[in-house]
Amino acid sequence: MKIIIVGLGKVGQTLAAELSRENNDITVIDNKEAVVQDFSSQFDIMGVVGNGSTYSVQMEAGIEAADLLIAVTGSDELNLLCCLIAKKAGNCHTIARVRNPEYSTELNFIKEELGLAMVINPELAAAGEIARVLKFPSAIDVDAFPKSRVALLKFRVPEQSILDNIRLADLSSKTKGDILICAVERGEELIIPDGNTVLQARDRISIVGTTADANDFFRQVGIVTNQVKSVMIVGGGTIAYYLARTLLTSGIRVKLVEKDLKRCEKLCELLPKATIVCGDGTDRDLLREEGLGRYEGFAALTNIDEENILLSLYAKKVGRMKLITKINRITFDEVIQELDLDTVIHPKNITSEHIIRYVRSMKNSLGSNVETLHRIINNKAEALEFVIREKSRVTDVPLQELRIRKGILVASINRKGKIIIPRGLDSIRKGDTVVIITQLTGLNDIDDILAK
């Protein structure tokens, strides 16, 4: 596919790099010449310097032959204008990033009236992911598959748990519930398990199942599953606002610490039910005075990664609470993982997941769209949700008879509302929604799970 990306900030660069790796023809546009030159030479892609919302620059970038334009500049209005010009000049699909909270309730209207393929709000999407985790605090990550009505939950095997040193084939004799353990992380190693896999304490395991089945499983292995009732947030940016709004709607008590006075005044207007504290969230005395140790959840959402890391480490020392740490840069991901910060959120990765899912759905040709995509296990694997709209090579054949590629696991099947955790005799049918866990990247269609 020929894709034009306007805006080479963090999200634009992440998208361009990932979509280029998936063998798409990428052209980037930005008004900073040095950034365009450095990035285009690094990834061997075409770069155009200029204003991406102008007809002449889009024509230079090849808009007439483009399949998709993605506008992720720092201005919402500029992104929307880029998309409008692209629709007229090239009649291609368009995606706009729109971040202003004032537009948050109007995204569907904007999408429909302007004829956009997608409108993505990264901060709103990140806040949604954080809220899901706070409602299921035993999990490190919670990824939802709306059409499949299942979730993918990752958690750490506690010391002295009944899961420690148990063979997966023997797990059914210890627990009841329809869940599937689909991935095991042990240090830097990723294991797609089978019945002979033996779990160990400190393993990070990912399970697929309905929320009710996952709750039952956690209770049986002695892991607390109740959602948090109170959360302290440090940092009063857009993600913090969306998160606080969501939590308050769910009846969760929120205290938000922000050092900018004008921003505090604005937050008081926007969030009348929250407690807003104007002060430096990195001040330990302030956090103690505000009762940090009494909160069940803590989210470090400042604009500085290092501050967020230190805040979460301090909160971990102060009390037993669910920790959320926002990190924008992922250069030292391996080091961050060793710090055991509980849940780490990368907003730019969430945005790229949504857009890559759409790109793969555009590329599919066999009638099974990628509905949902989650990068999991530090981007070592993907969880994909496919809707099976047509018969194909995988349909109506027992799974045990399919030549499924190594590193791929069929995790769940939703058949007319009935959730099936599949076994060898189960099969995929037309109309099903299927969740696939894969160590391979670039799956566009359900038939891609099969060996050639």
Mean pLDDT of 284-292: 95
Q: Could you read off the pLDDT of 224-278 as tens digits, one per residue? A: 777 899 999 999 999 999 999 999 999 999 999 999 999 999 999 999 999 999 9
Helix (H) or strand (E) holding 68: strand 68-71
The CATH number fitting domain 230-320, selected from 3.40.50.300, 1.10.3720.10, 3.40.50.720, 3.90.1150.10: 3.40.50.720
How far the first Cα of the chain sits from its last, in Å, is 22
Is the per-residue pLDDT at 117 higher than 80?
yes
Establish how many alpha carbons lie within 13 A of residue 55's alpha carbon, considering only the half-sphere containing its beta carbon. 4
What percent of the chain stands above pLDDT 70? 98
Mean pLDDT of 125-146: 88
Looking at per-residue confidence, does 12 or 349 come out higher? Answer: 12
Is the per-residue pLDDT at 172 higher than 70?
yes
CA distance 9 to 11: 6
Confidence of residue 223 (pLDDT cuts 50, 70, 90): confident
What 175-178 contacts at long range (C-beta under 8 Å, 24+ apart), as own/partner pairs, is 175/217, 175/220, 175/221, 176/216, 176/220, 177/209, 177/213, 177/214, 177/216, 177/217, 177/220, 178/209, 178/210, 178/213, 178/419, 178/421
Domain boundaries, the chain: 2-120, 230-320, 360-449
Mean pLDDT of 15-31: 92
Give me the CATH code for the 2-120 domain, please.
3.40.50.720
Q: Whole-model pTM?
A: 0.82
Quote helix, strand, coil % in the chain, to nearest 5: 35, 25, 35
Is the per-residue pLDDT at 299 higher than 80?
yes
Q: What is the topology classification, in CATH, of domain 360-449?
A: Alpha-Beta Plaits (3.30.70)
Provide the pLDDT for residue 374: 86
What rounded mean pLDDT belongs to the chain?
90
Confidence of residue 38 (pLDDT cuts 50, 70, 90): very high
